A and B are shown apart, each in its own frame.
Chain A
Amino acid sequence: MIPEIGHFALIIAFCLTLMLATVPAWGAWRGNATAMALAPTLAVGILVFVGISFACLASAFLQDDFSVSLVASHSNSLLPPIYKFAAVWGNHEGSLMLWALILALWTAAVALFSPQLPLLVLSRVLSVMGAIGVGFLSFSLATSNPFARLLPATPADGGDLNPLLQDPGLIIHPPLLYMGYVGFSVSFAFAIAALLGGRLDASWARWSRPWTNIAWGFLSLGIMLGSWWAYYELGWGGWWFWDPVENASFMPWLAGTALIHSLAATDKRGLFKSWTVLLAIFAFSLSLLGTFLVRSGVLTSVHAFATDPARGMFILVFLALVVGGSLTLYAFRAPAVSSRVTFAWVSRESLLLCNNVVFLVATLTVLFGTLFPLIVDALGMGKVSVGPPYFNAVFVPLMVLLVPFMGIGPVSRWKRDDVARWRSELMIPAAVAVACGFTFPLLNAPYNIWVALAVLLSSWLLLGLAQDVLRKLRNASSAARGLRRLTPGYCGMLIAHLGFAACVIGVVATSQYSLERDLRMSPGDTQELAGYQFQFVEVTQVRGPNFIADEARIVVSRDGAIVASLLPQKRRYLAGGSVMTEAAIAPGLFRDLYVAMGEPIGSDGAWAMRLHYKPLVRWMWLGAIFMAVGAFTSVFDKRYRRQRDVVPSVNKAALHGV
């Protein structure tokens, strides 16, 4: 009965999205205030019904209702409850439900937390989001119904969740990632609403900015968790594979990074308006493209869902409608909103422009590399794959190009600045950065040109930020007062840029200094790696809730002192019979020690073992967390709230009158 309620609620939600997509838009067109004022109510209604539907699906999973086809094929009675819940989105149909739920959340959030928006704009924005909702809910209902029953042949037990997905990382990774993906639909909706209204002023950017920052922050966290999950769960110690699915989440992030910077220029200076609109369309289009790539099966990947050309066709048509439609609208409406503001070449604007060009080019090269196999196949020229070397060769120079400008950015002034001033401000940071670059890597092991470069660039970035904070404090009467005067927007920028610097160091140091050895070890053997002694003590049989495993005990010591006792496992899951490597990690701020079991070799109890030493690997994830925290911090800036008092109370009245 519950699945039917869920299905029914989903259908009601679909009808509500249809209404949201049409009625307020019609109201905005004809100037009908009643129709427009319906938008927030509809948005909340959609959230309620999608929420009910999602809850029904979750309860089917939690109660082991194997008569529901989705539960039967992706869950199992032996599964711990938390994984039963995570299994809801560990498959195509359920993850689509999660997508719909998050879209409903964002739509309702825009409806509830935008009292400063004029009703006309709000109704347009919500209508656009409603139209996106129509697309996803009809996709779910027409091709991927999560509530389909297996009646009367109800299986006694389910087929189990893929063991790779039975992991705490997977419980939160998709929701965060989708918060980011779908969050860009808000920026997209604001951009389309602005194009429809033909009024693309600074206030538009100011409304859209906090939403975009939040979405970008969530996307950063989502990608970070995905990378972390791959690191410990795939068992190979890799943290980024340039896999099509990873790229699918990375491209919107790159475009989103360009967008948040371009929005800053539009907000503060009224510049790059049509460009910002285009970026907002891009960021969301890339999110949709990612969905298409992951679910259609045109590209192969370790993470791809079960593929199905019919579903692919549906998303492709939807993609064509949304992106094609919005780009057509852009082509016709953009001139009406282009800006006539000038700026000098030596100014913050041109630095932001550099950021935009670099990130856009990075997005396009990743897009090209991801789609290249498809293009070659479509031209009938064979089956190729584009590997990490391509992406590294293209991506690294771009980032190297970016950071020098990034260091000047915070110090620079809007509109017109002075090279001589930059020189005097940044002379000391530059000198110190160069000194750091040359000396710092000497402290650690062999000198490495890449690490030196990374240290040089990151310290340049850090010192530039420090210089700017110092200058701000010097101008204030006391340091405490100066600190208090730093706006949340500025602090957010500071934190996010710090995070980026940490990320750069983490990525480069791990790539350059990591040590890895595949070894044959018998119980009692000791091997050395990076000054650590790894002693293989024994292998025992252990039993988990839904698996049995061979568990090795490896004691790691350094200079005679025990550092960690690691327990990697080789698991065999009972339901599906699949074998999984569960790596054991001794984490640390400065290094991770990582052990994974291969397979047993020979008869004396020897195993193939993989030992890793990964310096500073945590820094890149910490960096990503910093970036997200920075993005969230900036939202508390007063400038996004002050308008509430400025806006005539008429709109409020209209809103509350509903």
Chain B
Amino acid sequence: MHSVRKQRLYLVLFVVLFSSVAIGLVTYALRGNINLFYPPVQVAEGKAPIGQSIRVGGMVERNSLQRAADSLQVSFMLTDYQASVPVVYVGILPDLFGEEQGAVASGVLDSDGVLQATEILAKHDENYMPPEVAYALENSGYDKKGNTK
């Protein structure tokens, strides 16, 4: 075979081999590391998997935020006004976190239906609401202040 041809062939083989390794790596990494988003109502209906990393977004329910006196544990309810999910988190909350504000919690749902959060995201500025929260609320048919009627 012509040497240029031969070199091309090796080159193609190398690229194919390398990219299949890369694709394998990507699929492997994706399998364990994507977090699906669930609105609270779906969590309440039992549609969210237990023991897997998920994200839940909604509004922080009024009067639901509780702080432990001796540690940094906080608990609150995330709601889309159809259902609420209790969330427990240990650590410092973001600056713009507050009751009746939108928030997204990512973590693992335990067997009691409590979301053990490892990360809390709150809205970034006053005019911004996490789109997932908007999505959850839109699906629940309630406005962002929530109507308890």
Tell me, yes or no, whether A581 is within 8 Å of chain B by CB: yes
Measured in the bound complex, the distance between the Cα atoms of B28 and A364 in whole Å is 16
A383 to chain B: which residues have CB within 8 Å? 36-37, 132, 135
A578 to chain B: which residues have CB within 8 Å? 95-96, 125-126
Q: A397-B25, A519-B72 are in contact. Are A580 and B95 (CB under 8 A)?
A: yes
Measured in the bound complex, the distance between the Cα atoms of B26 and A394 in whole Å is 6
B33 to chain A: which residues have CB within 8 Å? 386-387, 389-390, 393
Q: Are A365 and B26 in contact (CB under 8 A)?
A: yes
Q: Are B37 and A601 in contact (CB under 8 A)?
A: no
Q: Are B37 and A384 in contact (CB under 8 A)?
A: yes
Measured in the bound complex, the distance between the Cα atoms of B23 and A364 in whole Å is 10
Measured in the bound complex, the distance between the Cα atoms of B95 and A579 in whole Å is 6
Chain B 11-40 residues near chain A, CB threshold 8 A: 11, 14-15, 18-19, 22, 25-26, 28-30, 32-37
Tell me, yes or no, whether A382 is within 8 Å of chain B by CB: yes
Tell me, yes or no, whether A368 is within 8 Å of chain B by CB: yes
Q: Are A608 and B92 in contact (CB under 8 A)?
A: yes
Q: A235-B95, A578-B95 are in contact. Are A390 and B19 (CB under 8 A)?
A: no
Tell me, yes or no, whether B67 is within 8 Å of chain A by CB: yes
Q: Are B92 and A357 in contact (CB under 8 A)?
A: no
Tell me, yes or no, whether B90 is within 8 Å of chain A by CB: yes
B49 to chain A: which residues have CB within 8 Å? none
Chain A 284-340 residues near chain B, CB threshold 8 A: 300, 302, 306, 340
B62 to chain A: which residues have CB within 8 Å? none
A386 to chain B: which residues have CB within 8 Å? 30, 33-34
Tell me, yes or no, whether A525 is within 8 Å of chain B by CB: no
Contact with A along B106-149 (1 / 0, CB 8 A): 10000000000000000011110011100100000000000000
Tell me, yes or no, whether A610 is within 8 Å of chain B by CB: yes
Q: A423 to nearest B CB, angstroms?
A: 22
Q: Are A579 and B96 in contact (CB under 8 A)?
A: yes
Partner pick for B28 among A342, A387, A393, CB 8 A cutoff: A393
Chain B 42-78 residues near chain A, CB threshold 8 A: 55, 67, 69-72
Contact with B along A375-405 (1 / 0, CB 8 A): 0000000111111011001100110000000
Q: Are A382 and B37 in contact (CB under 8 A)?
A: yes
Q: Are A342 and B135 in contact (CB under 8 A)?
A: no
A80 to chain B: which residues have CB within 8 Å? none
Number of interface residues of B (CB under 8 A): 42
Q: A376 to nearest B CB, angstroms?
A: 8
Number of interface residues of A (CB under 8 A): 45
Q: Are B30 and A390 in contact (CB under 8 A)?
A: yes
Closest to A572 in B: B95
Q: A162-B125, A578-B126 are in contact. Are A598 and B92 (CB under 8 A)?
A: yes
A300 to chain B: which residues have CB within 8 Å? 130-132
A580 to chain B: which residues have CB within 8 Å? 95
Tell me, yes or no, whether A372 is within 8 Å of chain B by CB: yes
Q: Are B18 and A357 in contact (CB under 8 A)?
A: yes
Closest to A571 in B: B95
Partner pick for B93 among A364, A398, A599, CB 8 A cutoff: A599
B14 to chain A: which residues have CB within 8 Å? 357
Tell me, yes or no, whether A520 is within 8 Å of chain B by CB: yes
Tell me, yes or no, whether B4 is within 8 Å of chain A by CB: yes
Q: B69 to nearest A CB, angstroms?
A: 6
Q: Are A598 and B72 in contact (CB under 8 A)?
A: yes
Q: Are B29 and A393 in contact (CB under 8 A)?
A: yes
Tell me, yes or no, whether A168 is within 8 Å of chain B by CB: no
Q: Are A342 and B4 in contact (CB under 8 A)?
A: yes
Partner pick for A361 among B3, B22, B55, B69, CB 8 A cutoff: B22
Chain A 560-597 residues near chain B, CB threshold 8 A: 576-581, 596
Q: Are B92 and A368 in contact (CB under 8 A)?
A: no
B4 to chain A: which residues have CB within 8 Å? 340, 342
Closest to B55 in A: A385
Q: B65 to nearest A CB, angstroms?
A: 11
Contact with B along A395-438 (1 / 0, CB 8 A): 00110000000000000000000000000000000000000000
A385 to chain B: which residues have CB within 8 Å? 34-35, 37, 55
Q: Are B72 and A608 in contact (CB under 8 A)?
A: yes
B125 to chain A: which residues have CB within 8 Å? 162, 578
Q: A357-B18, A520-B70, A579-B96 are in contact. Are A390 and B34 (CB under 8 A)?
A: yes
Q: Are A384 and B36 in contact (CB under 8 A)?
A: yes
Q: Are B95 and A387 in contact (CB under 8 A)?
A: no
Measured in the bound complex, the distance between the Cα atoms of B5 and A615 in whole Å is 51
Q: A81 to nearest B CB, angstroms?
A: 23
Tell me, yes or no, whether A345 is within 8 Å of chain B by CB: yes
Tell me, yes or no, whether A528 is within 8 Å of chain B by CB: no
Measured in the bound complex, the distance between the Cα atoms of B36 and A386 in whole Å is 9
Measured in the bound complex, the distance between the Cα atoms of B107 and A487 in whole Å is 54
Tell me, yes or no, whether A602 is within 8 Å of chain B by CB: yes
Measured in the bound complex, the distance between the Cα atoms of B26 and A364 in whole Å is 10
A364 to chain B: which residues have CB within 8 Å? 22
Tell me, yes or no, whether A518 is within 8 Å of chain B by CB: yes
A357 to chain B: which residues have CB within 8 Å? 14-15, 18
Measured in the bound complex, the distance between the Cα atoms of B99 and A498 in whole Å is 50
A372 to chain B: which residues have CB within 8 Å? 30, 34
Measured in the bound complex, the distance between the Cα atoms of B70 and A353 in whole Å is 58
Partner pick for A384 among B25, B34, B92, B130, CB 8 A cutoff: B34
Task: Enumerate 23 A-B pairs (CB-CB under 8 Å) in ascending A order.
Answer: A235-B95, A302-B124, A306-B127, A342-B3, A357-B14, A357-B18, A361-B19, A368-B26, A369-B26, A382-B37, A384-B36, A386-B33, A390-B30, A393-B29, A393-B32, A393-B33, A576-B126, A578-B95, A598-B72, A599-B92, A599-B93, A601-B72, A610-B92
Sorted nearest first, the 3 A-B pairs with minimum C-beta distance are A598-B92, A393-B29, A389-B33
12 further interface pairs, Cβ-Cβ under 8 Å (given A385-B55, A390-B34) = A302-B124, A342-B4, A343-B7, A345-B10, A357-B15, A365-B22, A372-B34, A383-B36, A383-B37, A384-B37, A578-B125, A601-B72
